[in-house]
Amino acid sequence: MAATPSGNAGAGARVTPGRRFGLPTWMSGFVRGVRSHAMVTAAVIVAVAGWTGAATAASQTAPPDTSHGGMAGMAGMAMGNAGPSGGHRMPPMPADIPMMPGMESLHPQGPAYVPGAGTDVASLPAGVASTPVEMKDGDTLNLDARLIRRTIKGATYAMYAFNGQYPGPLIRVHENATIYVRFTNHIDLPSSIHWHGVRLANKFDGSVGLTQDAVPPGGTFVYQVHFPDAGLYWYHPHVREDIEQNLGLFGNVVVTSPDPHYYNPANAEAVLILDDLLVDTQGIIPYGRDAADFTIMGRFGNLFLVNGEPNYHLAVHRGDVVRFFLTDASNARSYNLNFGGAPIKLVATDLSRYEHEQMVSNIVISPAQRYTAEVRFGTPGTFALTNRVQAVNNYAGEYFPEVDTLGTITVSADPTTADHAHEFTTLRANTAVTSDIDRYRKYFDKPVDHELALTVNIQGLPNSIVSFMIVDTMYFSPVEWNDGMPDMNWVSTAKEVHWIMRDVATGKEDMDINWHFTQGDVAKIRIRNDAKSMHPMGHPIHFHGQRFLVLARDGVPNPNLAWQDTELIPVGSAEDILLDASNPGTWMAHCHIAEHLEAGMHMMFTVDPAP
Amino acid sequence: MKADLLTMGTALMAAVVATGPGRNGSRLLRPAIDSISLEPTSDARGASGVAVLTRSPSPFGMSLTPDGHLRYDVHLHVSGLPADPRVYDGATAYVAWATVPDLSLARRLGPVAADGSSSGEVDWNKFIVLVTAEKTSVQPGTKPGAKPGAKPAAEPHWSGTILLKGVSPSTWMQRYGSHILNNGGNPQW
Ligand SMILES: [Cu+2]
């Protein structure tokens, strides 16, 4: 009989009455058929699933699909290894999570992609640490993306970098400055630069297929970037982020306010970009050439990097207050950051400070989000910067505590030269923020203008994977803090997994959605994360080119507002955001898990200029 | 054999796909992740309740303890309990509790008000919610099964009759390890 890939059973699927959770009759035949085997062979699973597996490792000459699921890509150079697995390598399994039976012969559909493959890594220029660059209004910065060589924990990798730096140059610029960035693409993929969170002119947003064509290898594009809002921003390509951003193409922009007291006094500033790379003993786990892999949960790394380094270190004096600018540049990972128990004052997020400063004991940050926090190290000693989460072991059906040490802060016994303890313990009310937001309060109770449902459609994964995923369907964490099923996640590509933003009113999905606003409109948008889909997951949703307030989470009003561009919507939750449609153009909104974006989770909205 | 395995995939999915297909043809049977149905014990037939879980407030949306436990506010609504708790061995109040699956920890969420409501906070990965009938002053008790004379637990523990119980949605998390494909085709149940 014809093998039919099946991810979601339709309404017509047969259910044995009264046997839904018992041992269905079909299983007796199954058990008979395989009883003599130690385990079900992978070959059978593959054949039954209609999974073409190794047979698809055909042409290695076409460029990666850089289309974001339908937008025009540009040709790049081809890389990849031939072979029965198409050049793919299974990610290492975490301790205590064994590989599922049959997985050893599965791999993502389509050939693998290894940037720089065929290049002698030793011949690549060595990457260097990021350097700050102060830019004045009208200045021009050349940003050159190219392959570099990096040695991390003794292993050498071919990676990408802007100007050879990891992360890319740290741009410091004043509020309301306009700078020019001449981007030259010397990597082996088409690329662009997106200025995340910046309310800049639409045509410089870097959204390939929407605001510009991709910059081909060897090509150049000049971005005119205007920074209307003080805050912390970052830049990254908007082409195959799952590859390009993951391999190091990102950097921060710190936009400073003319107000010298915008932040509290601090003894030091530290700009930290968090990232995680997925490696094994042979190198970076290859990517999908024609379609992103790891599309169920996104690619969770096992090598944690802060500013590109596995052992971030900062030395301060006893009593020092350090202002940390934090960005999550990971493809998929949300972090729960601790500073060794040192007290943390939360000051600002994406595009603004909070109405009220508040003390927190830890910081939860999701892909593309930023937080500005001041931390006081009052006692000498070593403070570990850690990610501490309750991770899931899907094999055991249990949680386990995961502690990832990202770096250390050593505090010397020497006292600080300027003690800001009083200012640190004083929580300010930022009246400038509140009075700006006051102009929008009349819209807080308006009806919902648009409602989005976040969901997924999975079709065509091997039956073995689907049957394991069904085991998963009884419970989903609101946010997944680790990958408890990396073998299965890896096999899923953008060809089988389709993440969906659905406009509830029209039923339109993803790039068929194009909401229209007029500049000056203030729109209430409800975003609901469907808990009943085949494999729900928390999604960090990002709106380009505008700013929004999170008015309410699950109907509970947000008591401390700040302007954001990215908000994590947990599974089963509904959140109301108030979009300040201030910036004309046709823009993208999408999930910032790189693999979900590649698997379709993006839509459009247009802000027409005010008449 | 191919047919058997293909059937397996379809039937297994059918087994968990409820009626009323959505846009993608699936509506999976799954306990709600934000509420706990409280079922009566034989001591409280006719009683019912629900414990609704909401995210504890946090500027990050997700409220986590430093070690990563999700912090939930638990809002109970119970009904059908006898108006006078004294029928339960002279108890004077109904009290809501949370405990962990091995019962080694307990947390007093709070008394059940006359309107059947109670609330508290829980930050365990998997937990059980209970409503018991207690004497007015709930003293720190000992863990169930503890030897007579054992030191009282640091946290107060219920000592009265359990009337309603329910497990956290996370308790429904299943094990890949028990999957038929991990057991040579021989189910282990
Ligand atoms: Cu997503």
d(CA A604, CA A317): 49
Cross-chain CB nearest to A475 (options B169, B177, B189): B169
Per residue in A4-63, pLDDT (tens digit) is 333 332 222 222 222 222 222 222 222 222 222 223 333 333 333 444 443 333 233 344
Type of residue numbered A195? W
Lowest mean pLDDT, pick from A180-194, A418-432, A465-479? A465-479
**Could you tell me if B185 lies within 8 Å of chain A, comparing CB atoms?**
yes
Say yes or no for a CB contact (<8 Å) between A532 and B27: yes
Say yes or no for a CB contact (<8 Å) between B9 and A559: no
Say yes or no for a CB contact (<8 Å) between B6 and A361: no
- What band does A485 get if pLDDT is binned at 50, 70 and 90? confident
Task: Report how far ligand 1's centroid is from the alpha carbon of A538 (Å).
Answer: 6
- What band does A212 get if pLDDT is binned at 50, 70 and 90? very high
Do residues A548 and A22 make contact, with C-beta atoms less than 8 angstroms apart?
A: no
User: Between residues 80 and 139 of chain B, which touch chain A (CB distance below 8 Å)?
Assistant: 125-126
User: Between residues 14 and 53 of chain A, which touch chain B (CB distance below 8 Å)?
Assistant: 14-16, 19-21, 23-24, 26-27, 29-35, 37-40, 44-45, 47-49
Q: Which residues, in sequence order, are CB contacts of A218 under 8 Å at separation 6+?
A: A185, A186
Q: Using a CB-CB distance cutoff of 8 angstroms, which residues of chain B are in contact with residue A478?
A: 33, 55, 62, 70
Top mean-pLDDT range of A30-39, A97-106, A178-187: A178-187
d(CA A159, CA A152): 11
Cross-chain CB nearest to A30 (options B8, B25, B30): B8
Using N-to-C axis directions, what is the helix angle for A42-49 and B2-16, rounded to 10°? Answer: 70
Residue-level pLDDT at A70: 34
Can you tell me the mean pLDDT for A286-292?
95
Predicted TM-score (pTM) of the model is 0.87
DSSP state of A562: -
Do residues A468 and A486 make contact, with C-beta atoms less than 8 angstroms apart?
A: no
- What band does A466 get if pLDDT is binned at 50, 70 and 90? confident
Closest CA to A480 of A399, A360, A592: A399
User: Between residues 561 and 590 of chain A, which touch chain B (CB distance below 8 Å)?
Assistant: 567-568, 570-573, 575
**Could you tell me if B34 lies within 8 Å of chain A, comparing CB atoms?**
yes
Residue-level pLDDT at A146: 96
- What band does A68 get if pLDDT is binned at 50, 70 and 90? low
**ipTM for the whole complex:** 0.86
Per residue in B32-81, pLDDT (tens digit) is 889 999 999 999 999 999 999 999 999 999 999 999 999 999 999 999 99
**Could you tell me if A557 lies within 8 Å of chain B, comparing CB atoms?**
no
Do residues A265 and A228 make contact, with C-beta atoms less than 8 angstroms apart?
A: no
d(CA A485, CA A105): 16
In total, chain A counts a number of residues equal to: 611
CA distance A293 to chain B (A): 22
Position with higher pLDDT, A480 vs B17? A480
Task: Report how far ligand 1's centroid is from the alpha carbon of A601 (Å).
Answer: 7
**Could you tell me if B1 lies within 8 Å of chain A, comparing CB atoms?**
yes
Per residue in A519-540, pLDDT (tens digit) is 999 999 999 999 988 899 999 9
CA distance B127 to chain A (A): 12
Lowest mean pLDDT, pick from A198-212, A351-365, A449-463, B125-139? B125-139
Minimum Cα–Cα distance from A20: chain B residue: B15
Where does residue A426 rank: exposed (0-12), middle (13-18), buried (19+ CB within 10 A)? exposed
Position with higher pLDDT, B23 vs A245? A245
Q: Which domains does chain A have, with CATH numbers?
A: 121-256 (2.60.40.420), 441-459+496-608 (2.60.40.420)
Closest CA to A240 of A208, A212, A277: A208
3-state secondary structure labels for all residues of B35-90: EEEEEECHHHCCCEEEEEEEECCCCCCCCECCCCCECEEEEEEEECCCCCHHHCCC
Which bin fits B11, alpha (ψ -120 to 50), beta or left (φ > 0)? alpha
Minimum Cα–Cα distance from B72: chain A residue: A478
Do residues A270 and A324 make contact, with C-beta atoms less than 8 angstroms apart?
A: yes
Per residue in A367-425, pLDDT (tens digit) is 999 999 999 999 999 999 999 999 999 888 999 999 999 999 999 999 999 999 999 99
CA distance B110 to chain A (A): 22
Residue-level pLDDT at A13: 27
Task: Report how far ligand 1's centroid is from the alpha carbon of A87 (Å).
Answer: 26
B18 pLDDT more than 60 = no
Say yes or no for a CB contact (<8 Å) between B70 and A390: yes
Per residue in A559-578, pLDDT (tens digit) is 999 999 999 999 999 999 99
Residue-level pLDDT at A59: 31
As a whole number of Å, the end-to-end CA separation of chain A is 62
**Could you tell me if B186 lies within 8 Å of chain A, comparing CB atoms?**
yes
- What band does A76 get if pLDDT is binned at 50, 70 and 90? very low
